[in-house]
Structure 1
Amino acid sequence: MPRLPASLRRLRRVALTHRRPLTALCAAVAVAAALQANAAPPPPRTLVLTAARDLPAGTVVRSGDLVRTPFDPGSVPAGVLPAAAAVGRTTTGPVRAGEAVTDARLVTRSLLAGYPGLVAVPVRIGDPAAVRLLRVGDRVDLLAADPQSDSAARLVGRDAPVLAIPRAGPESPGLTSGALVVLGVPDLTAPTVAQASVTAFLSVVLTR
């Protein structure tokens, strides 16, 4: 039998000397490859519409206020909305940056279920303590008073149902502060109520 060249004999001796570590290494590589082949791929992420910044209560949502954020499918909250259903609507309460935009966070058509002929209008009531007495479903008359005048308060909304009472934020009396309430009013009355909400001190009278 011919002798192997010296270089091959040295290579053979090295392989025999280290055969056990080499065998263990090959086995580990094989196990790792098998585990990687059998591992389930990561679940797909679902893009959810979220607030790009903190949105105060009563904000009319614009496209720049929204961003799509990847969520694990199991963590997607109920009632998430597409951009087409969110832009142009009004927040019913504060929405934090990164929070999913759902139907519960916006004045949506669902608030008007059971109130045909009415539209939803968010208004700020000057006395936050009065709002704490209200419950969704109550009926109120809406009064507007000019704080710079001695004239009597005028009636700008009658028998309006309370559709939503957003989560309270910082409260202080005033025309642009106070506490937010979403009322249902006839379509023709909405402009009058909207104008009064920025020019007068609003108060409510509980009717039923």
Structure 2
Amino acid sequence: MTIEETCLKDCYVLKPTIFEDHRGYFFESFNADKFQKMTGLTINFVQDNESKSSKGVLRGLHFQTGDYEQSKLVRVVKGAVLDLCVDIRRGSLTFGQHFSVELNEDNKKQLFVPKGFAHGFLVLKNETIINYKCDNFYQKDSEGGILFNDKDLNIDWGISEDEIILSDKDKILPTLSEYLNEK
């Protein structure tokens, strides 16, 4: 496994070593010891989530707050997504900045999203299955979100907004500045 630093502190792209032969392939999707040695971070994942979506679906930008903040390790089992995270940690040198990477079934890359980040993904292929590990349990009362097209964040999702499919809840999320002013 190789781990690449991103432009955002504590946010990493993991690329597994894949062993392929005539039978198929094998790879280690996560190894806590290697991760800690390469990043200095100790992670204890306690919950795995999986979703299936159609092309054009955008889920996010979501996060958990307080005692239920979550770090996530995101990967695509089938299909492809543009996976994106935004640093919303007040006082961070990269506050308000975002990073994106294509995760797909062929490159098998994973994105490590640390606590204090909003996370979302745009589905690039029909029947895409995404799986992510979390280091804390989901708590509905601690969920939060940022509007995907917040003008101050200036995120290029790569498609026009009228092609994006959102949940009703994601359509009415606050901008980052609105969220911060609520707190």
TM range (shorter): under 0.3
TM-score normalised per structure 2:
0.23
Whose strand fraction is larger, Structure 1's or Structure 2's?
2
TM-score normalised per structure 1:
0.21
| Larger RCO, structures 1/2 (Cα 8 Å, 6+ apart) | 2
Structure number, greater radius of gyration: 1
